[in-house]
Structure 1
Amino acid sequence: MSQRNFTRTQVGIVGCGPAGLFLAHLLHRAGIESVIVESRTREAVEGTIRAGLLEHWVTELMRDMGLGDRMAREGHAHDGITLQYGATRFHLPLDELTGGKRVTLYPQHEVLIDLIAARLADGGRIHFGVSDTAFHDIETDRPRIAFRHPDGTPDELSCDYVVGADGFHGPGRRAIPAAERREYDRTYPFGWLGILAHAPLSWHELIYARHEEGFALLTTRTPEIQRLYIQCDPRDDIANWPDERIWAALHRRLETAGDWKLADGRIFQKGIIPLRSFVCETMRRGRLFLAGDAAHIVPPTGAKGLNLAVADVLVLSRALEAALRRGDESGLDAYPATALRRIWKAERFSWMMTTMLHVDAAETPFEHRIRMADLDFLAGSRNAQAAVAENYVGLPF
């Protein structure tokens, strides 16, 4: 049997996603040591292609942390978005409505590539490809994270505090007994079929469209690569969606305003994802804290997933700094309530955008008319547009 290793660190983090990496960087800036353990390999983490829309304050944070150089070169800043329903298309000027704030399209995996490289360059420790990860003694003053390295060697982190930033299926939330967790869940009856395609830019900003057949979203990754989505049955088989059927659906759902035409091209990635809303309000037990998808999931319609994870750890990093530097745990005690105020606002906005823009087969004709009235009101009301814009670019702290 391999000899067990023992490592001491101040904060042990499970999960090398946005929450875990941003937390490690924020703690490093405060002079606090951390170690990240991750079940996937580095190649898998960096190679999982995901869309990413960064709120204004997140881009400012990345620049302030010295992590925004590549984002500044390769990201696409947007001053507005376009919404569409029926034959009506209207522009939401985010910058005008929010005092100059905007959003930046920069895929999540690119953010992770930047953060991993910077963390390792700073001498940070990230253990990739681990297995059998488990939290122990979380209600004591010396919680532990046990795991195995890829070669099978057992290891253990002895910590002052531990953080489950390990996603919905990770061990973090499961370390809190199910009977003691307050959880709220909403599974939507529709999903998204997403594609990446080699195609020219069709529109200068995102288009969110509600069509009688269902939702569609036009976004971009680079000027030559476009990312598009259509509403579908989440239980459908992707094999039922040949490229020709996907493009036909996109053309029908997006080409409803004027003589504008969608430019198509060769699809090189496609898949179906379900949509759900989820919140675990029990974000702390003892010296274990949850952050990111371990504590909450939002449908992607509101573009809040990564941003909400960063918001969690911005609050948590400040609280951990106060506890470790000054022995003041009041911020840690307040962490769940502080984070949940923002979480529930993001959940509300994401739910609102999702229900307003998607077609639900179970909705009544009355409810359908209400959704159309929501869009019509939004198109004609500057105040309503300002409320959407404020949420979209990121609420202030």
Structure 2
Amino acid sequence: MRTQVVIIGSGPAGLLLGQLLTEAGIDNVILDRASKDHILGRVRAGVLEEGTVGLMDRAKAGSRMHSEGLPHNGFSLTFDGRDHRIDLHELTGGKRVMVYGQTELTRDLMERREAGNAPTIYDADDTCPHDFGGDRPHVTYVKDGISHRIDCDFIAGCDGFHGTSRKAVPEGAIKTFEKIYPFGWLGILSEVAPVSHELIYANHPRGFALCSMRSMTRSRYYIQCPLDEKIEDWSDDRFWDELRRRLPAHHAEALKPAPSFEKSIAPLRSFVAEPMRFGRLFLAGDAAHIVPPTGAKGLNLAASDVHYLFAGLLEHYRDGSDAALDAYSARALARVWKAVRFSWWMTTMMHRFPDTSDFDQKIQEAELDYLTHSKAASTALAENYVGLPY
């Protein structure tokens, strides 16, 4: 088989890139080691920047997002038992975010791809990119015990942090930067109306908490916890009780407990791999970088990578120029590092660290107070939260 672009990974980055290429008339094949049902069963974040919304529209996959998604004009920071609303819409000159579950975004892209008969190969074992340093790259995989090869012009590695694409890069050609945080997020999903119509980010002496939602009937809640916690030690009742303790009184009273149907503990890390291009292999999304979810940037960074990579591939095939492809890594990483900084800053400002001294705690409190009482500081937060321009 031969195609123009092989995309490894059918998460949001791979599916979005594939659909943009398909709409532009550029042939592509998507490979994924998982099944379609497994991919749609994964529960992920769902706060979309305007740039991500625009890319979904360009991929002609945004209609359900606009009808069912929840536009948010602001969110709440809570500390000292009080709410402090960050008015995104006013502070950024009319910008907002869209709350729409990543699973639903993935489903929309899958359905659009299937409607156009664009090929996706699921359950592809032992997928591996080859010869991407030369002019004849190809990808091999095994399906139902039979080995296959796809020749192509370019390979897009969109297969996540543990995928094969980054691992295929020769040792010494890539440099990684990483920070591991000394806590995790214990999260639940519950079929219950959210406690507030906007997200709540809570700083509390007992630890961070986040109240978010997937819809007006499905809530997603998180609390900071030690990394050695066991999920089986957290009953629903224990979780709801701890969440109430970390919220201001009026939110705690409004909170409606309900049985959870998903519960997990996620570790937090910041990770960046440089560069993001190796000959004819391009990394995008979690294959190249991970951010803690505090700033809602993971999915949106994947989308911004796709923006730059699609622009380069489109210029290559339409204009015969490789200028944008040559600039891909530098352009993508410039935005990545700004988002990594923002996510790190939000994480350090909102969480309680095990080694925090009394001095450190006073600095955190002063920063929160300044942030919520200075329009300039609030504007900087809002600009980063809604998404920096591409």
Task: Please name the residue that 2:385 is paired with.
Answer: 392
Q: CA deviation at 1:266?
A: 1.5
Q: Is the 8 A contact 1:86 1:256 kept in 2?
A: no
Q: Is the 8 A contact 1:26 1:314 kept in 2?
A: no
Task: Please name the residue that 1:355 is paired with.
Answer: 348
Separation of aligned partners in 2, 1:178 and 1:294:
16
Task: Choose the corresponding residue for 1:102, options 96, 99, 103.
Answer: 96
**Residue identity opposite 1:316 in structure 2:** L
Task: Please name the residue that 1:340 is paired with.
Answer: 333
Task: Please name the residue that 1:213 is paired with.
Answer: 206
Task: Please name the residue that 1:3 is paired with.
Answer: none
Separation of aligned partners in 1, 2:35 and 2:59:
25
Instruction: State whether structure 2 residue 56 is matched by structure 1 residue 62.
Output: yes
Per-residue CA deviation, residues 169-217 of structure 1 (Å, 9 max, x unaligned), is 1111011123221110000001000001122332110000000010000
Task: Choose the corresponding residue for 2:87, options 84, 87, 93.
Answer: 93
Q: Kindly, what percent of the aligned residue pairs are identical?
A: 48
Separation of aligned partners in 1, 2:57 and 2:312:
22
Separation of aligned partners in 1, 2:271 and 2:213:
27
Task: Please name the residue that 1:187 is paired with.
Answer: 180
Separation of aligned partners in 1, 2:354 and 2:220:
26
The root-mean-square deviation of aligned C-alpha atoms, in Å, is 1.3
Task: Choose the corresponding residue for 2:166, options 153, 169, 173.
Answer: 173
Task: Choose the corresponding residue for 1:301, options 280, 294, 300.
Answer: 294
Separation of aligned partners in 2, 1:358 and 1:201:
22
Q: CA deviation at 1:136?
A: 0.8
Matched position secondary structure for 1:350 = helix
Instruction: State whether structure 2 residue 360 is matched by structure 1 residue 380.
Output: no
Separation of aligned partners in 2, 1:68 and 1:109:
14
Task: Please name the residue that 2:11 is paired with.
Answer: 17
Q: Is the 8 A contact 1:77 1:102 kept in 2?
A: yes
Per-residue CA deviation, residues 7-52 of structure 1 (Å, 9 max, x unaligned), is 1000011000111111111112222111000010011111112221
Q: Is the 8 A contact 1:280 1:296 kept in 2?
A: yes
Q: Is the 8 A contact 2:134 2:279 kept in 1?
A: yes
Instruction: State whether structure 2 residue 240 is matched by structure 1 residue 250.
Output: no
**Residue identity opposite 1:31 in structure 2:** G
Matched position secondary structure for 1:180 = coil
Per-residue CA deviation, residues 230-264 of structure 1 (Å, 9 max, x unaligned), is 00012311011111211111000013468853222
Instruction: State whether structure 2 residue 38 is matched by structure 1 residue 44.
Output: yes
Separation of aligned partners in 1, 2:221 and 2:303:
25
**TM-score, scaled relative to structure 2:** 0.97
- What pairs with 1:137-156 in structure 2 (closer than 5 Å)? 137-149=131-143, 151-156=144-149
**Residue identity opposite 2:117 in structure 1:** G
Per-residue CA deviation, residues 123-168 of structure 1 (Å, 9 max, x unaligned), is 211000110111111111110100011x112111100011111001
**TM-score, scaled relative to structure 1:** 0.96
Separation of aligned partners in 2, 1:14 and 1:60:
23
Unaligned segments of structure 1, at least 5 residues = 1-6
**Residue identity opposite 2:33 in structure 1:** S
Q: Is the 8 A contact 2:55 2:307 kept in 1?
A: no
**Residue identity opposite 2:53 in structure 1:** T
Task: Please name the residue that 1:289 is paired with.
Answer: 282
Matched position secondary structure for 2:254 = coil
- What pairs with 1:57-136 in structure 2 (closer than 5 Å)? 57-136=51-130
Separation of aligned partners in 2, 1:43 and 1:324:
33
